[in-house]
Chains A and B, each alone.
Chain A
Amino acid sequence: MNIMDYGWLGKLSWDSIVFSKLFTNFSVSEVVASTAGSIVIFATVAILFLLTWFRVWGTLWSVWLTSTDHKRIGIMYIVFALVMMTRGLLEGMVMRAQQAAAPDGFLYADHFAQLFSTHGTIMIFFVAVPFVVGLVNYVMPLQIGARDVAFPVLNQISLAITASSGILLMVSLVVGEFSTGGWSAYPPYTGTDFNPGVGPDYWIWAIVFSGAGTTLTGINFTVTILKCRAVGMGFFRMPMFCWTVLCSSILMIFAMPPLSVAALMLGFDRYLDFHFFTNDLGGNMMNYANLFWLFGHPEVYLLVLPAYGIFSEVFSTYSAKRLYGYKSLVFATMSIAVLSFTVWLHHFFTMGQSPTINIVFGIATMLIAVPTGVKVYDWMATMYRGRIRFTTPMIYSIGFLILFVIGGLSGVILANPTVDFQVHNTLFLVAHFHNVLIPGVLFGLLAGYNYWFPKAFGFRLDERLGKWSAYLWIVGFMLTFFPLYGAGLLGMPRRSFSYMDLTFKPYMLVAFIGAMVVLCALVTLILQLLVSLRDRKKNRVPVGDPWDGRSLEWSISAPAPSYNFAELPRVTDRDEFTETKEQGRAYQPPKVYRNIEMPRNNPLGFILCVLSGILMFALVWYIWWLALITALAIIVVVIASTFRWDSEQIIPASQVQQDTERWLELVKNTEPVGRDLENTPQNNGYAKLEH
């Protein structure tokens, strides 16, 4: 059927709605699918209702949705990531339940396949990436002493198209179905011949748009770090986190385009009858594999490097000590960033290429273990001769240190082509990348979330529940993924919705129990947030330095003023704030108060979010008139917005003075507290000098 042969509503019909299948084919699998669809609809309605009930539409619009403030955009990114994480995690639970219940199971094969495809796509592109980007957005400009990122509106647009892609994935739960081709969507299985439905199209457009968003973010962060650092902050005075962000941003710029190109080429194959990756007419799916992993491997480091940065900050702060081996860590980070582009072929050692090629890529892969190992030792040396406090971020970090080396071990094992021949595409591989991504990336992000939360909202998170959550994550992770190593070695392929060999059963049962523990960890994490909201008055830290922090973000009030710094700092040391505290120069009023120019609110991001969402939906469902209108509208809106002259606002010096003086008055009236009391209500964010 020609793609132009569809009517006004394209491929859309009543049968596309997920609930219709409940009537035509009643089964547990369809009930699960319909429940998921209802949750999406119910949650949307509930949110809309609550927003109206509490009359916060105005605030939402003027304070959040149109904001160009990097801090608010960062927070929105993280909220988005947490919502998507809840979905991804629940999908993981259902898959674990299915494999624990096998060989009987309760899901259809196609439903299971949609689950692993969305789980992977969501966890990588709509949890890990936005969580990282959100934290970086919040923290990095504060750490380098800047007022905002280099391109605030671009920042807003990046968020907008990432969010609309995520919403598209949510829509796929209700309308139509998602791809069954896994998060890597290998053709020709995802081509029109083998998958004529809309599933792969959902994947393609979500990836193309969110990928573009991430590329733009990478450009934004790179320029910010290169051009917006405070006076005196040479490269080697940047906090470690900023270094890792710089490397990660460069990876975003160079690694995301291959993915966008690969997904678009697959789109050309599907929509316009091209033959890049088809079986016939000279198409070759291995070109897709190359392009995809040319993105895919740097992607892993794009995520894990900022997490390394967070761990560096956490280890140093909670050991009350300078970061050990700063230059070593910078060099290691850069090495990893460069090496990450030289290893993509290890994802398909089994393609049948010559052993020489496998040797080159195998050794390159192993080489990455060297700088990574150095980092682990550097963090240990940071704690050595320190004064270690066992706070929530520290528990995540220690858990990371121990568990991550196990992921490193399985990584080195997998780097051997001969061994990879035996564990490729098995649960061993699944265990490996979860072992790297959960302790490596997620623990880092959660440590950062606990660490910087008081800076963002002005009060500390509940420590007791935080610790509980951290322990549950650690134990849950081990119980879920260590059995997968065993099952993989025994030969269980990944993505199996069932198995006949009962040898795997005990492993799957333990993994299912682990998944339940992980669910408890998530519940505890949500509970922690709720309890902390309840206790927010008691746990206020308005002075802004609850952990005896070392870098510039702790030198301002919590929450930070919209312009960040009353006067841009002059940096003389790597641990600038520690240095100023020790020399007694902290909490000084600026010599002169000046007007501050800040970007004005802009509705462009929100408009693009809506338009790109509709565009993607129209493309997925072949509704050409709608696609054409929204595509044109996007072009018109973007061009029109460039004619906006009043894109800046001035914050008058008087107001800056008023804010600052009020805060300094507060500092004067606050009792400094020692570290032993840092998780008690006495801690109002003024750290006592202890040494």
Chain B
Amino acid sequence: MDWTAKAPIGLFQKWMQVWGEINRRSYGLAIFPFIVLLIFLFPQSISATESFLMPLGPVAHEQKTHFFWATALTMVAILPVFILVPVILIKYRRKKGKGIYAPKWESYGPLEVIMWGVPFLVIFVLSFMLWRATISLDPYEEIEGVVPPISVQVVGLDWKWLFIYPELKIATVGELVVPVHTPVSMILTSDTVMQSFWIAALAGQIYVMPGMTTKLNFIATQNGKTQGENTQYTGKGFTGQKFDVLIKNEEAFQAWVAQVRARGIALDSETYNRLAMRTTRVEVQKELGTAQMPEHALYFTLTDPQLFQSVVMRYHSGKPLNMEQQPGTEKFGQGEDAAEGAQP
């Protein structure tokens, strides 16, 4: 065997030696967590469509890009730790370490500069990215599209979401349908406790709070179906507070609107008060759903164009709301003075 063949074998044996040492001494612990983390941090087989890792629009897409960039840049400061810790542990181990021993060595100027400098530079670049991204992805900023935005008013209830399309005079529960390539301009409030509204594949979360409004803007760029939900724990129906999001092209959307108009029941204050009870969407479907509606959604025609505003104003009357008048409580809609206060 000539030396060219021997050299790789020697190298291989050397590596096996080091690897054995690494395993024996558990130095492998250093890089192992990182590998395990990678498996979970970047799930390869994403079958769930309710994630910003499978975006259906530019907002979630940019968030995904930003996520990967932030991860990659932070690696500059973190990888040295993964690599150098095992090296130091092997070289300076007490039993067989070959490194020199300097018990009084405690400071070295250039090293200090690197230690402070590298993280600072990384954070400087990341901060710059953060600044740019936060401005460009401001959820309050309307998205410019070829067509004017469609507005949707969202009311968080226990444990369901009510979507009001004020211009189309319709409303739904359990299903949000938006036309593709059309900016969506949402205004949101809550008629119970604070919740957090989220359609992961389209845009990030925004809180919904009683008596206050927040805004969320996004646009869908491909047809498809995903889910939205509340992420803030609000009681026993919390995990059921999800809704389907359907992205349709213009004709299909118009057909859907016509369907809702035709099949929906009137959203008068009595119906609204039934919706506002402490029930899950499935439970309220049994009460209000008709044979013409799909199984997973309720369709309404809007009778009061000021419904959303009156939900917000419920909390600004200057009068106390007792439990009978407060949607989301166990006693809502019961008792004598319920009717007066419950008028949204």
Contacts and interface: CB of A to CB of B under 8 A. Distances in A.
B320 A416 contact: no
B2 interface: no
Contacts of A485: 37, 40-41
Interface stretch (B4-12, B28-36, B298-306): B28-36
Contacts of B25: 390
A193 B326 contact: yes
Contacts of B203: 421
Given A385-B102, A388-B89, A378 B238 contact: no
B70 interface: yes
Interface stretch (B173-181, B226-234, B266-274, B286-294): B226-234
Given A384-B92, A419-B67, A485-B40, A189 B193 contact: yes
Contacts of B328: 193-194
Nearest to B30: A402
B210 A188 contact: yes
B137 interface: yes
A182 interface: yes
A614 interface: no
Contacts of B151: none
Interface string B66-93: 1100110011011011101100110011
A350 B206 contact: yes
Contact of A422 (B63, B74, B236, B317): B63
Given A285-B194, A385-B101, A416-B66, A490 B326 contact: no
A363 interface: yes
A193 B329 contact: yes
Interface in B244-276: none
Contact of B116 (A320, A374, A483, A497): A374
A319 to B, nearest CB: 7
Given A355-B135, A425-B205, A413 B112 contact: no
A499 B85 contact: no
A655 interface: no
B127 interface: yes
A351 B329 CA distance: 23
B81 A322 contact: no
A482 B36 contact: yes
Given A279-B326, A352-B215, A385-B102, A108 B43 contact: no
Contacts of A351: 207, 214
B209 A286 contact: yes
Interface stretch (B15-23, B46-54, B142-150): B46-54
Interface string A600-641: 000000000000000000000000000000000000000000
A498 B102 contact: no
B67 A413 contact: yes
B97 interface: yes
B68 to A, nearest CB: 10
Contacts of A387: 92, 94, 97, 101
B236 A109 contact: yes
A390 B93 contact: yes
Give the one of B30, B112, B134 with max A CB within 10 A. Answer: B134
B94 A352 contact: no
B335 interface: no
Nearest to B329: A193
B338 interface: no
A542 interface: no
B130 interface: yes
A244 to B, nearest CB: 18
Contacts of A196: 323, 330
Contact of B82 (A402, A490, A493): A402
A433 interface: no
A409 interface: yes
Interface SS of chain B: mixed
Interface stretch (A31-39, A66-74, A79-87, A324-332): A324-332
A193 B203 CA distance: 32
B132 to A, nearest CB: 10
A449 to B, nearest CB: 20
Contact of A366 (B40, B53, B123): B123
Interface string A312-326: 000000011111111
Given A370-B123, A418-B204, A497-B239, A424 B103 contact: no
Nearest to A326: B106
Contact of B236 (A108, A386, A421): A108
A412 B126 contact: yes
A325 B107 contact: yes
Interface string A535-556: 0000000000000000000000
Contacts of B43: 486, 489-490
B133 to A, nearest CB: 5
Contacts of A109: 235-239
Give the one of A108, A367, A413, A420 with max B CB within 10 A. Answer: A413
Interface in A317-360: 319-328, 348, 350-352, 354-355, 358-359
B320 A280 contact: yes
Contacts of A562: none
B26 interface: yes
Interface string B53-68: 1000000101100110
Interface string A362-393: 11001101100110111011011111111000
A398 interface: yes
A281 interface: yes
Given A279-B210, A366-B126, A370-B116, A412 B70 contact: yes
A493 B115 contact: no
Contacts of B88: 380, 383-384, 388
Given A406-B33, A424-B231, A279 B315 contact: yes
B168 interface: no
Interface in A489-515: 489-491, 493-499, 501, 503-504, 507
A178 B315 CA distance: 29
B196 A425 contact: yes
B134 A355 contact: yes
A499 B106 contact: no
Interface of B: 25-26, 29-30, 33-34, 36-37, 39-41, 43, 46-48, 50-53, 60, 62-63, 66-67, 70-71, 74-75, 77-78, 80-82, 84-85, 88-89, 92-94, 97, 99-107, 111-112, 115-116, 118-120, 123, 126-127, 129-131, 133-135, 137-140, 192-194, 196, 198, 200, 203-207, 209-211, 214-215, 229-239, 315, 317-321, 323, 326, 328-330
12 contacts: A110-B236, A193-B321, A279-B321, A319-B92, A320-B94, A373-B118, A388-B89, A388-B92, A418-B66, A478-B36, A490-B48, A675-B94
Given A369-B119, A507-B40, 19 more contacts: A326-B107, A350-B196, A352-B206, A359-B130, A370-B123, A373-B115, A380-B81, A380-B84, A409-B78, A412-B74, A416-B126, A418-B63, A418-B137, A478-B37, A495-B233, A496-B238, A496-B239, A497-B239, A504-B48
Interface of A: 108-110, 113, 180-182, 186-189, 193-194, 196, 275, 279-281, 285-286, 319-328, 348, 350-352, 354-355, 358-359, 362-363, 366-367, 369-370, 373-374, 376-378, 380-381, 383-390, 395, 398-399, 401-403, 405-406, 408-409, 412-413, 415-422, 424-426, 471, 474, 478, 482-483, 485-486, 489-491, 493-499, 501, 503-504, 507, 675-676, 691
